Amino acid sequence: MKWYAISGSWRITNDEVKRDVERTVEKIILAGDGIITGGALGIDYFATNVVLKKGDSRRQLKLYLPIKLENLCKHFFKRAEEGVITREQAEMVTSQWREVERICGDCISDEWGYTEANIESYYGRNTRIVEDCDVLYAFHVNDSKGTQDAIDKAKELGKEARVKKYYVEVN
């Protein structure tokens, strides 16, 4: 079994990006392989959703969160209060995490030694994802720095990185 990391923007996506992620993940899980993703909105959310709907989550999903699940849920609702994301987005993604926890709690890794959701914990999570995957699929939207971090780490480790670039108009 191969493990494919799925990385990409949480801020900006569109229907084309979503379709590409869904097709890629569906192909991976139908081949009997698994995905590792970071649990964020956007690309990670799309990828996890495909596994939950069409795969064997207990066997084909690894969800690497930057901090403990309980703290991350609180963080996302705080970000919604700050206007960084919407309350609907916070509810959507935290519901997905809870679904993964209910189905296969051992699919979630969230103990990396970080206590706050910040660039250090997110990039630390990226390191673990890339270390544990066989291949990285990067859906690189508008040159996102986090996705570039995963691509750079994959190259440093000699891992195959399949990168698809997108430029999405931001209003």
Q: What is the mean pLDDT of each run of 10 residues along the chain (171 residues)?
A: 96 93 98 97 97 92 98 97 96 97 95 94 96 98 95 97 94 76
Q: What is the pLDDT of residue 35?
A: 98
- The distance between the two most distant Cα atoms of the chain, rounded to a whole number of Å, is 42
**Angle CA(124)–CA(25)–CA(93) in degrees, nearest 5?**
55
Q: What is the pLDDT of residue 49?
A: 97
Q: Which of 118, 145, 142 is nearest to 12 (CA)?
A: 142
Q: What is the pLDDT of residue 4?
A: 98
Q: What is the pLDDT of residue 11?
A: 85
Domain ranges (residues) in the chain: 3-166
165 close to 35: Cβ distance less than 8 angstroms? no
115 close to 71: Cβ distance less than 8 angstroms? yes
74 close to 80: Cβ distance less than 8 angstroms? no
Q: What is the pLDDT of residue 171?
A: 76
The reported pTM is 0.95
Q: What is the pLDDT of residue 32?
A: 96
Q: Are strands 3-8 and 135-141 parallel, antiparallel or unpaired?
A: parallel
Q: In what order do the strands lie in the sheet with 135-141?
A: 108-109, 61-64, 34-37, 3-8, 135-141, 160-166
User: In angstroms, what is the C-alpha Rg of the chain?
Assistant: 15
| Cα gap 56→26, rounded to integer Å | 12
Q: What is the pLDDT of residue 103?
A: 94
Q: What is the pLDDT of residue 151?
A: 97
Given 3.40.140.10, 3.40.50.450, 3.30.1330.40, 3.10.105.10, which CATH number is that of 3-166?
3.40.50.450
